[in-house]
Chains A and B, each alone.
Chain A
Amino acid sequence: MLNDLAISAQGLTRYFGDRVVVDQLDLGVPRGSVTGLLGLNGAGKTTTLRMLMGLLTPTRGQSQLLGKDSQQLTAEDRARIGYTVEGHFLYSWMTVRQSEKFQRETFPRWNNAMFESTVRRFGIDPGQKIRVLSRGQRAGVSLALTLAAEPELLILDDPALGLDPVSRAALNETLLDFCNEGMRTVLLSSHLLDDIERVVDRVLVMVHGRLVVNTTIDDFRNRISSWSLEVPPASRAIQAIPGLVFAKQRGGRTIVTVADSDAETEAAMMRIGADSLERLPITFGEAVIAYLSQSRASDSFFANTGA
């Protein structure tokens, strides 16, 4: 079972000071999947990815990449794992060619065609200094360097951050090209829900350092439903709906997003606003936003009780 998982974690926990940032994460990402990691800023995405990469020691718990303990990855293990840093860090004093040479000589495998095609796709002149590249071009170089090393597992920390639409499209195409060849696993964090919907087949959602969603994108869509009720806003009864993810006000109505809606859920909603109960279509983006808004709302809830 564990061998089918490219990424796994058991009780992975990380504190900064006495503040918990990643809270007892149990995680399994099957091999060959493209998984999107979603969450608000500060939900613990980057911390989780860094712990998985063995770049940060967990406070408790453990994780494995390709069956190897994250904290004891050898150079050979790392050769099979690609990683791009948030913000696409590169040595700005190098040229693109020098970066390529540096990368080529610190990884055992090198797919030159992959590098050249990716760089071309982003419209980069390899003789340029990294310093003068645009953000999108930097992302292109970073991606080209990582993919040309032919990793089995690719972990991308918010690769689309701050990219223009053209670079975003190039990024998606590059990723999909990469996945088209062999059993390759990709885990990427992002805030661009439309891109995620196109590219991934699995989603992870983190809220306050906890994992609340880990499933296929279709399963996620099927199990999330949205309903419209004609009830006064902020009714206590709404908070009691089982599986309530988020409730918001639209005009005079309340839009309710629930997970795993069943007879009990519907009965609860009927009791509140039976006459007006109406099921609404819901997009992937709306479903994710419901989760993320829920966490933000609970933030303000905590803030209120604290005050």
Chain B
Amino acid sequence: MRTLIEKELRENLRWLWVGLALIGSLVWYATPKTLVANGESAETLIASPMLLGASLFALGLGVMQSFADLRTASRSFLFHRSVSIGSIFYSKLISGAILYFAAVGIPLCLVAIWFAAQGLDYLPVRPIQVYPAAVVALACFGFHPAAMLMLARSGKWFGTKLLPLFFVIPIVAIGGITINTILHGPALHVLIVGLILLGDLILVAAAKHAWVHSVADEGSFPKQPVNLALKLTLSIAAVVFVMFSFQVVAAFGGGWLPAETSSVEEDYAIDAEGNLWWVKSKRTRTEPWLAFISGDRLQKDELPDARRELPKKLQLGHLGKLTWVGTAKRCFAGEMAWYSKDLASYFDSRGNVLLYDRTLTPPLQARITRDGAPFAGDPRSSGSEDMFFYDKSGPSFWIDPIGAYRILSPSLKVETLLELPIQAKGSETRHTSNDQGTNKVQTQEQITILSDGKLHVYRLTDKDGNEWFPDFGRGKSEFKIREIAVSPPLPPSDWKDIRYHFTDDSKFTVVLTGRRPCFLTYDSKSDTHWTVTSFRNPNKKISDDLGSLLFSVLPLLFSIVVAVSIGSDLLLSGTSLPTIDSFKCFLQDEYGYVILGTVVLLFSMIGAYFACQRRMLSRSETIRWCCWTVLLGVATPIAVLAIYTRPACVRCTGCEKKRRIDLRKCEHCGCEWERTAPMGIEIFDDGFSKSKEQQLTPELTR
């Protein structure tokens, strides 16, 4: 084995330099050297080119290592020696891994060292930020055994030969999850790496099998044996191929879908008087914004009917939503809190906010702490909701579980607004029409905080107490915050799924859709202040034509993966593939997508049956594959065609039908192969002699 590995390394060392140049230049080009203007984090910036470079390199290396030694002469020279073909395969895999991880690891280590050397004064980066790229690289190595599997199997290049590569795509996608979950606990990362290794293991088992039974020559060949790993690999690859095709189709805008293909949502809405409605709103392919189409006013103890026609001239608006404030376990330097043209803020490892100004050197301007203590907020739940920097001179808010603060500029001192345990927060931008009749719409930021069953609302005011509308570029230096505090008459345990809306300063609506659905209306002018109305929670009926259509066509295996996937949103974010919500729509849909799904399944089964016939599988195997169609859907025929090879057929001398050349007896009439009649010139001296007197005996030997 050592000799074989040495041989592989010697033969392929030149590719290491190619790989180092490719991956090194891609990664170095992507590595942030100064503060990034668009606010992308270093892990995303490095991982994406790593995905490209590492995939290409692993694929190329696998092809190069296989191609050379699968040519007839070379293969015979290597395979006939006194070593098992398995160890030849493994030595190729191991030497490939050595070269690959050298080409991938060296640039990553250099970037990590460079990150460590930068220092937070210049760049908010830490060495750990290369970790997602490393996991992605680990996942991309799957292209190496996939390439070896691809080349060792017979098949047409424009047929199913490329299929094994598709198996690697979900492995790489799983590796890509780490980009967004770098702050999650180790359990998730162990799971991710475990899944990657499991996928690679299946692939390696399939590739080894294909190598041991490799077919050096092209052309149809009847008895290419298959094992479980190979079946698994190619079945999953076929499913991924189907998904990939849909992705490509969807990426081209779904132009093949009718313009009225829509997705319909049902939700609460509120009118100008503060009445609550249950409405249906719809977005279509050509008009991709939500439009209210029908709805019903929520009445006490009544079930609303969302299909009812809405009154004319009704002004409806959406409700705000409170999100829960989390406590940080660990903060991270690279997690970005906020950025603008010149300014950017990041959390450091202790929970301080680092404020950078791109125009100055060094760019680090301040470590902002709350009276010397770090903030307790969780950067994972952060975002623009937490801080508002309008520009250098503007005010900013910061909310964490133990208080709300305002960061004063330009002094960057922290002023404590509230010292309260904060459970939830919400922010919204209020659009207010100008009174003077001009069409200018002014926006106003407002923050709502839930603390011990009490809602606090903050708005920016100017120094005179008038409401302030931020005007970009002409910021005022000092602002006040107006607080409206209201305490709904409900125990804190009922505060779940809080939706809220301010009609104006005196009117306020809170909707609770949890265990006991009700809505509360606050009116400061009435005596009781609060009225509580309970209602019957309407069944949320939503529909998503595209998603449902895809789910009815896509293999069930994919739906199951989506359903059980811990991070289907993470996995599929950025793709056009439908997620769990669409799957719910599919199951609930009233337009017969389930029927469509069944029809598609039936056609898939017929397709699978014909694929099995084409590949001349036995009856029991055909039945088994038809059963698997339930799970693999439209991918089944592709899988069958990829896994098996079609045996060539010649005309049977017994029954005139086409018979398989690999079977001893004709599958139609059961007759054996006829020995070609001796020509009378045969000269034999051994036990297999067929001299003249034996010419008449083929019947006897049967």
Chain A positions near chain B (C-beta within 8 angstroms): 1, 11, 13, 15-18, 20, 23-24, 26-28, 30, 50, 53, 55-57, 59-60, 74-76, 78-79, 81, 83, 85-87, 89-91, 93, 101-103, 105-108, 149, 210-216, 219-220, 223-224, 242-245, 258-260, 291, 294
Contact = CB atoms under 8 A, between A and B. Distances in A.
15 contacts: A13-B673, A15-B648, A24-B673, A55-B75, A59-B661, A59-B662, A60-B663, A78-B81, A85-B73, A85-B76, A89-B76, A107-B81, A214-B685, A214-B686, A223-B683
A173 to B, nearest CB: 24
B685 A219 contact: yes
Given A78-B80, A107-B82, A212 B679 contact: yes
A55 B214 CA distance: 9
A213 B683 CA distance: 5
B508 interface: no
B80 A53 contact: yes
Interface residues of B, number: 49
B4 interface: yes
B688 interface: yes
Interface in B663-696: 663-664, 673, 675-676, 679-688, 691-692
A23 B676 contact: yes
Interface majority SS on B: helix, strand, loop or mixed?
loop
A76 B662 contact: no
Given A18-B650, A24-B676, A87 B685 contact: no
A244 B681 contact: yes
B661 A60 contact: yes
B687 A28 contact: yes
A272 B569 CA distance: 92
Contacts of A259: 680-683
A284 B458 CA distance: 111
Interface string B212-254: 0101110111110000000000000000000000000000000
B158 interface: no
Contact of B661 (A18, A211, A224): A18
B187 to A, nearest CB: 43
A93 B673 contact: no
A57 B223 contact: yes
Contact of A53 (B76, B217, B663, B664): B76
Contacts of A219: 683, 685
B673 A56 contact: no
A86 B83 contact: no
A294 B681 contact: yes
A16 B4 CA distance: 31
Nearest to B73: A89
Contacts of A13: 661, 673
B83 A75 contact: yes
Given A56-B216, A56-B217, A75-B84, A27 B688 contact: yes
Contacts of B74: 89
Interface string B63-105: 0000000001111110111111000000000000000000000
Contacts of A103: 81
Contact of A78 (B2, B7, B82): B82
Given A18-B648, A55-B216, A90-B77, A214 B684 contact: yes
B656 to A, nearest CB: 16
B3 interface: yes
Nearest to A149: B82
Contacts of A79: 82
Interface string B12-27: 0000000000000000
Nearest to A25: B688
Nearest to B223: A57
Contact of A59 (B4, B72, B222, B686): B222
Nearest to B3: A105
Contacts of B223: 57, 59
Contacts of A291: 681
A259 to B, nearest CB: 4
Given A24-B676, A55-B216, A260-B692, A220 B80 contact: no
A60 B648 CA distance: 13
A85 B650 CA distance: 31
A307 B685 CA distance: 39
A109 B691 CA distance: 42
Nearest to B76: A85
Given A24-B673, A105-B2, A244-B681, 17 more contacts: A24-B676, A27-B688, A28-B688, A55-B216, A60-B662, A60-B663, A75-B84, A78-B81, A78-B83, A89-B73, A89-B77, A102-B3, A105-B3, A106-B82, A214-B685, A259-B681, A259-B683
A295 B82 CA distance: 38
B649 A18 contact: yes
User: What 7 A-B pairs are tightest by C-beta distance, nearest first?
Assistant: A79-B82, A89-B73, A105-B3, A215-B685, A18-B648, A26-B688, A106-B81
A214 B688 contact: yes
B690 to A, nearest CB: 8
Interface string B637-669: 000000000001110000000000111100000
B687 A220 contact: no
B82 A93 contact: no
The residue among B82, B83, B673 with the most chain A CB atoms within 10 A of its own CB is B82
A30 B216 CA distance: 30
B11 interface: yes
A69 B652 CA distance: 29
Nearest to A23: B676
B624 interface: no
B313 interface: no
B683 A224 contact: yes
Given A17-B220, A24-B673, A106-B4, A50 B687 contact: no
B10 interface: yes
B10 A28 contact: no
Contacts of A20: 661
Contacts of A11: 673
A288 B694 CA distance: 23
Contacts of A15: 648, 661
Contact of A28 (B72, B76, B216, B686): B686
B685 A212 contact: no
A89 B81 CA distance: 14
Contacts of B75: 55
A217 B34 CA distance: 84
Nearest to A210: B676
B84 A215 contact: no
Contacts of A216: 685
Contact of A106 (B83, B216, B680, B685): B83
Contacts of A55: 75-76, 79-80, 216
A57 to B, nearest CB: 6
B675 A24 contact: yes
